[in-house]
Structure 1
Amino acid sequence: MIEYSEFVRLSRSHDSDERGHAAHLAALAFLDHDGPADEHAALYASLINFLDDPSVKVRAALAYGLLHSEQAPRPIMMALLQDSPIISRAILQYSPILIDADLFNAIRKGDAAIWLSVAQRAQLSSRVATLLIERDEPGLVLHMLRRTDISLDASLLVRLAATHGVEAKVRGALLARPDLPGPARLILVQRVTEALRETRLVAGALAPERLERLLRNGSDTALSAIGEAEAYLRKREFVQTLVGSSQLNTRILLHALVTGHVMFFASCIAELSGATREKVFTLLEGGSRSALSALMLRADISTALGKVLVQLVLHARIADLADDTAARHFVVTALIEELIAEYDGVIPEELEETFAYLSEQNIALARKAARGVMRVFAATTHLPMLVPPSDNSLPLQLPAA
């Protein structure tokens, strides 16, 4: 409590600290006022008078008193917004009085410090966040991407993945966003693949051919997994982008089936054939061989490749390809043996790429399926390993390493 006469004395003091104290008291009294109207009007007039105080400390004390209140007078807050930088930045960061139009104006006219103040507000609309990102200031873009509480437009996220995806921190921030669309994830996978290929530690640890195989297989798996997630959410844009950009090829279709991403495969076939996804999924789940073959032809897939895909679908019906690596290995092995038997070991030219992919997958899956098997077997058996006697008459000869 303070007498109004004492308040007037403080307001007229030559000491800026005393005037600042008075300004802060006036702000608190105005916001908490529950008395006569003339008293409220007098407090409002005193707040306006403090706007003209020559000391920034006094005006800052006034701003501090009003800063977080939704009942603060808008004209006063707008005047403080045009005050010295230390005051205006605080108003931009904390005042709930400001609306999007006020923030738009400040962003367009302000500098990096102003942008950061707006970016640190507790709540921001997607429109304001987009305008901040469009300033294209690296630190600001990263800060906004880390604000997962703000929803951003899918097209903006795709554009950021394409333009800023080479930066590791930006990639991490984008990948952490729950609203990141599939096309943006695919771009980031490609950026990560490029970064790994150029990393000396990775390139020096693996032979070039094996590194390329690992990266290609990892990219295919990531693409297929992204497509599966998009298909689960019933989004067509991802597959449409693949088809429109000619990125959907034989390898991807095979990989989708081999890895158990059936919903993604169904979406791809639906997009290629013009059939509904529901109809395609029904055929994949229980359609006859002839019905599946007709579907592949409708999707403009060659007869030879269509036969391979149909056979793979039939195998997939009785095996858990999504989670069982051993089942994947068994199916791919069976398919390779069927192809060799069908063509008597002479694989047609149009299936050479398909056969090479299956052979490559067979090796990778065999390695995965074999990991830990002997260790588990050794821990559960008491039988000795029976090894035939060695024949030392023929010395082992190996080329120099």
Structure 2
Amino acid sequence: MVVGHFLKWIGTARVSERVAAVSALARAYVERDLPFEDRCAAEAALTLLLDDPSAKVRLAMAEALSMSHHAPIQIIAALASDQPEVAAFVLARSPLLTDADLIDRVATGSKAVQKLVAGRPVVSMALAAAIAEIGEPEACVELIANSGAAIAALSFRRMAERHGHLPSVREAMIADPRLPADCRHMLLVKLGDALKQAPLVAALMGAAHADRVMRDACVKASLTVIENTRAEEHGALIEHLRLRGDLTSSFIIRAIAHGKVDFFGSAMVALTGQAEHRVRALLSGGHDAALAALFRSAGLAASTHAVILRALKIWREVANGKRVAGAQEVTWLMLKELGGQASTGDLAGLLKSIHLEALRENARGHALAIAAA
């Protein structure tokens, strides 16, 4: 029997010869070119070679067997537990390792092992959840970059909670179109906190000023998040904002001033508990009295009702093609409800600041358009 001669020879062969021989034997096994008796003998020989003192021999075996559906499972399991350079091929490729096997490797393995598992061609939702829950930051970055990984929204949230303060994880997550809107907002807040606590920022601005600037920047960035959020994700984002205490009247007014009417409607549904179809019907064509009742049910102060009603009417006209307007025009007309530029108070101050921001943004866009012409 060929395998018998192989086993007698292997004990005296040099490492390079054993590497070539074990690679050839393993490939013959997975290609199923051997008769049944020789296959059984080859499996026994390969199992014996797991004890070879040279890692190069075991590495050659791992490379040859790593992608086969027909490799002996006991050999695959042993190679997966070998030293990292040997285990790498099997952990990254073998279709014989189950989710339970891989989750165990993630739980007990090194950072390098976790990265190998996270980079497999196919990563199930359960395995991705394990990496999100206990994986090192490097493994999470590898998982996010893996287009073959099925990552649940909950797993994205766990990675944002655990590692969102780290630039590498934050950048990978923000670049991923699968990232849920509430996670995107969470990462923006974490970025703001990191910038606020940076020694240079604190030295240049002072702690109080830095806190105010970063808070304002996060609010503005939140509007961008809303703009790029699908309607079906509004509920999760609103709940996230509400739990953080960010779903304030001023935030809602800022959203409606910028034309985020769908988001405003989702917020009214969440805050009032009324049916979505009823809220949508009121926003699209309801009378002022019915809308004011809706706002009261949502907990919006009576002083805000008139400016919100004015904004809604303008955005209705824009949607119906009767008017062309943007945040600059809408905030100006909202401010007129309070008496124009001479008006005072917190609400007037908020509308003035939104109006000035819109003016600056429009002027900036105009200047860039001129420069590009």
Which TM-score band (shorter chain)?
0.7 to 0.9
Q: What is the deviation of 1:63?
A: 2.8
Alignment check: 8 A CA contact 2:226 2:263 kept: yes
TM-score (norm 1): 0.77
Q: Helix, strand or coil for the counterpart of 1:339?
A: coil
Deviations 1:235-257 (A, max 9, x none): 42221233344321121111111
Alignment check: 8 A CA contact 1:145 1:174 kept: yes
Matching residue's letter, 1:90: F
Alignment check: 8 A CA contact 2:272 2:294 kept: yes
- Which of 339, 355, 358 in structure 2 is aligned with 1:365? 358
Q: Does 1:28 align with 2:27?
A: yes
Q: Distance in 1 between matches of 2:120 and 2:365?
A: 52
2:347 aligns to what?
354
Assess, with a 3 A threshold, how the Cα gap between structure 1 residues 256 and 4 changes in structure 2: closer, same or farther.
closer
Q: Helix, strand or coil for the counterpart of 1:317?
A: helix
Q: What is the deviation of 1:357?
A: 0.6
2:255 aligns to what?
256
For structure 1, the 5+ residue unaligned runs are 378-401
Deviations 1:290-321 (A, max 9, x none): 2222222232323322122112211222237x
Q: Distance in 1 between matches of 2:72 and 2:131?
A: 27
Larger Cα-atom Rg: 1
1:143 aligns to what?
142
Alignment check: 8 A CA contact 2:3 2:45 kept: no
Q: What is the deviation of 1:134?
A: 3.8
Q: Helix, strand or coil for the counterpart of 1:224?
A: helix
Alignment check: 8 A CA contact 1:227 1:239 kept: no
Alignment check: 8 A CA contact 1:189 1:219 kept: yes
Q: What is the deviation of 1:24?
A: 1.9
Q: What is the deviation of 1:108?
A: 3.3
Assess, with a 3 A threshold, how the Cα gap between structure 1 residues 224 and 66 changes in structure 2: closer, same or farther.
same
Q: Helix, strand or coil for the counterpart of 1:104?
A: helix
Assess, with a 3 A threshold, how the Cα gap between structure 1 residues 112 and 294 changes in structure 2: closer, same or farther.
closer
Matching residue's letter, 2:358: L
Alignment check: 8 A CA contact 1:228 1:263 kept: no
TM-score (norm 2): 0.82
Q: What is the deviation of 1:92?
A: 1.9
Q: What is the deviation of 1:273?
A: 1.8
Alignment check: 8 A CA contact 1:165 1:171 kept: yes
Deviations 1:38-71 (A, max 9, x none): 3333333333343344444333333332222222
2:172 aligns to what?
173
Matching residue's letter, 2:154: S
Q: Does 1:219 align with 2:193?
A: no
2:110 aligns to what?
111
1:90 aligns to what?
89
Task: Kindly report which structure 2 residues correspond to 1:2-401, keeping only aligned pairs within 5 A, or say none.
Answer: 10-11=9-10, 13-34=12-33, 36-197=35-196, 215-227=214-226, 229-230=228-229, 232-319=231-318, 327-340=326-339, 352-371=345-364
Q: Helix, strand or coil for the counterpart of 1:236?
A: helix
Identity of aligned residues (%): 28
Alignment check: 8 A CA contact 1:230 1:236 kept: no
Q: Distance in 1 between matches of 2:368 and 2:15?
A: 80
Q: Quick check: which one's helix share is greater?
A: 2
Q: Distance in 1 between matches of 2:365 and 2:183?
A: 36
Matching residue's letter, 2:49: F
User: Which stretch shifts more, 156-165 or 93-102?
Assistant: 156-165
Alignment check: 8 A CA contact 1:183 1:241 kept: yes
Deviations 1:128-161 (A, max 9, x none): 3333344453433333333354233333433432
Alignment check: 8 A CA contact 1:10 1:19 kept: no
Q: Distance in 2 between matches of 1:36 and 1:207?
A: 79
Q: CA RMSD in A?
A: 3.7
Matching residue's letter, 1:239: I
Matching residue's letter, 1:94: R
Assess, with a 3 A threshold, how the Cα gap between structure 1 residues 21 and 156 changes in structure 2: closer, same or farther.
closer
Assess, with a 3 A threshold, how the Cα gap between structure 1 residues 204 and 282 changes in structure 2: closer, same or farther.
farther
Assess, with a 3 A threshold, how the Cα gap between structure 1 residues 251 and 155 changes in structure 2: closer, same or farther.
same
Q: Helix, strand or coil for the counterpart of 1:33?
A: coil
